Amino acid sequence: MKNASIFLLLFTAICTQAQNIESVFPLKWKTKIGQTTYRTNILFDKNKIWVGSNGNTLEKNSKDELDAVFSIDPKTGNILEKITPVWETKEEKDMPDTDVNGIAIDGNKLYFGTDAHILYCYDIAQKQLLWQYNAPTANIGDNYGNIESCPLLIDLNNDAEKDVVITVRGRGVVALNGKTGKPLWVNILSKSDGAYLCSPVGVDVNDDQIPDIISGGWGLSTEDGENSGVNESHLYALDGKNGKTIWDFNLGSGLKSSPVIIRKEKKTAIMVATTYSWVFMLGLDGKVLYSVDFQLPDKEPYYGGISGLYGTPAITPNETMVVGSSWWSSEHDGLWIAHLLKAKLEGEANNKFVDKNVRRFHAANRISASGVVGNITNKNWQIAIPTEKGELLIYDEKVRSLERLKMPSGAECSPFLGDIDGDKKLELLIASYDGYLYCYELSVKKAKVFIGQFRQNNTNQAEIRLK
């Protein structure tokens, strides 16, 4: 037991009594919006907060008055508009589940999908529906055809109008003309429930000046559309012009996390995390540049258990990577820190991985959210991320310390960090399991933000630029 105690000191944070979050960050307001998930993003646009809701419950096939997109006054928390998904029938009993997760905004256009298999394009200024698209479904389960990811807005046909790329649960990837909502292409890649929950991202991998689409999920398909039987996820690069596969990378496990483009100087990489503990950095050719192993140590009390990575890793300008694990619903889950700047790479040329000594694990129970990066309690770069158990974790990369604040409720939705009221101080927005969106005021003046929201911006073109 003595050795086990020493091990815990080396690999985990010592749990201390967490302060109440309001003793550090005063509460400005809270407003009822319903349930959110790790696939939900919170946006700030046109001096309003925008967020989608799963309604009063996360249960399957439930529908209620909170299944909607809300626009919210950033100063008061008052709901300014509730945009409810439209359905073809007027019979309430026939309406399917209309949960909303990811949303996107470009100009006056709001895009959002639902569990009813429909993507909507809504005119914010005119307050009217412009078009809707019914996603491809498969009659083999309740969740197939759900649109749960954040829509990617990106120009694929050089018409100066952003087009829309969505992942469709259990099916694959669809690109739509941004003006009309008509399909540019459809690539059916799976018949596996749980596949294609991640949000797509765009990057030109074949040098044709058109962005290609990076996404993935369970189930590699054969030419006739049937699953190959391989129970592993693949990350695909799909040609932006026609949706055809350029390359695919076998992740060796599940994929819930969403890929991100990393740019440093003139180099570009694709970062993706898996449900079996690994974060891969891939080149634009789909080959591994290096990887980071976040599997739990093969010692008491963990015995080498996996870390289910659902959130997208956050990276600071100084290349500190932070990602939570969401597998065990116990103290075997928590927060992983890896200081990657100048870290040594081990292994062979085609299988390089980061030296494990740069990692540190902080036990904290389930974390499905993605972190935000900024000057949160001081002028150092810090990462804030909520846990499903009800703590806000704040990691300071300079002093390498972790602060724990007790929240009113747990959360899996990624927070929002930014100045939403123009007072030159930041606010932190947290959507919690109790159904409320909380707005906390931070005290650091002229604070900087490096990553302020899930998917980085309102078009969900997730890129991190390093020096």
Question: Which of 25-29, 59-63, 104-108, 393-397 is predicted least confidently?
Answer: 59-63
Bridge partners, residue 393, by sequence: 385, 404
Q: Are 406 and 18 in contact (CB under 8 A)?
A: yes
What does the pLDDT read at residue 225?
44
Return the CA Rg of the chain.
21
> What is the pLDDT at residue 12?
44
Measure CA 57 to chain center: 20
Provide the pLDDT confidence category of residue 7 given band limits of 50, 70 and 90: very low
CATH of 84-255, one of 1.10.1060.10, 2.40.128.630, 3.30.420.40, 3.30.479.20: 2.40.128.630
CA dihedral 201, 206, 210, 214 (to 10 degrees): -10
The pTM score is: 0.92
Read off the tokens for 397. 């990369």
User: Which candidate, 337, 206, 315, 312, places its Cα nearest to that of 263?
Assistant: 315
C-beta separation of 247 from 286 below 8 A: yes
Lowest-pLDDT range of 94-108, 182-196, 223-237, 254-268: 223-237
What pLDDT is attached to residue 139?
63
Cβ neighbourhood burial of 133 (10 Å; 0-12, 13-18, 19+): buried
Residue 359 reports pLDDT greater than 90: yes
**194 has a pLDDT exceeding 70:** no
pLDDT in tens, 146-171: 999 999 999 999 999 999 999 999 88
Give the whole-angstrom CA distance, residue 202 versus residue 162.
Answer: 12
Q: What pLDDT, on the 0 to 100 scale, is given for residue 73?
A: 99
Q: Residue 453's pLDDT is what?
A: 99
Mean pLDDT of 333-344: 95
pLDDT tens digit sequence for 67-115: 999 999 999 999 999 999 876 544 455 556 889 999 999 999 999 999 8
* Domain boundaries along the sequence of the chain: 12-38+311-467, 84-255
Q: Mean pLDDT throughout 119-129?
A: 96
- Across 51-67, average pLDDT: 84
Distance in angstroms between the alpha carbons of the first and the last residue of the chain: 45
Residue 399: pLDDT band (50, 70, 90) is: very high
The token pair that represents 92 in the structure block: 């309430």
Q: Are strands 449-451 and 118-123 parallel, antiparallel or unpaired?
A: unpaired
Q: What is the pLDDT of residue 65?
A: 86
Share the mean pLDDT of the chain.
90
CA pair distance 225, 236, nearest whole angstrom: 16
- Could you tell me which of 97, 103, 117 has the C-alpha nearest to residue 51? 103
Q: What pLDDT sits at residue 224?
A: 41
What is the per-residue pLDDT for 62?
Answer: 72
Of 448, 449, 453, nearest to 429 by C-alpha is 453
> Residue 4: which pLDDT band, with cuts at 50, 70 and 90?
very low
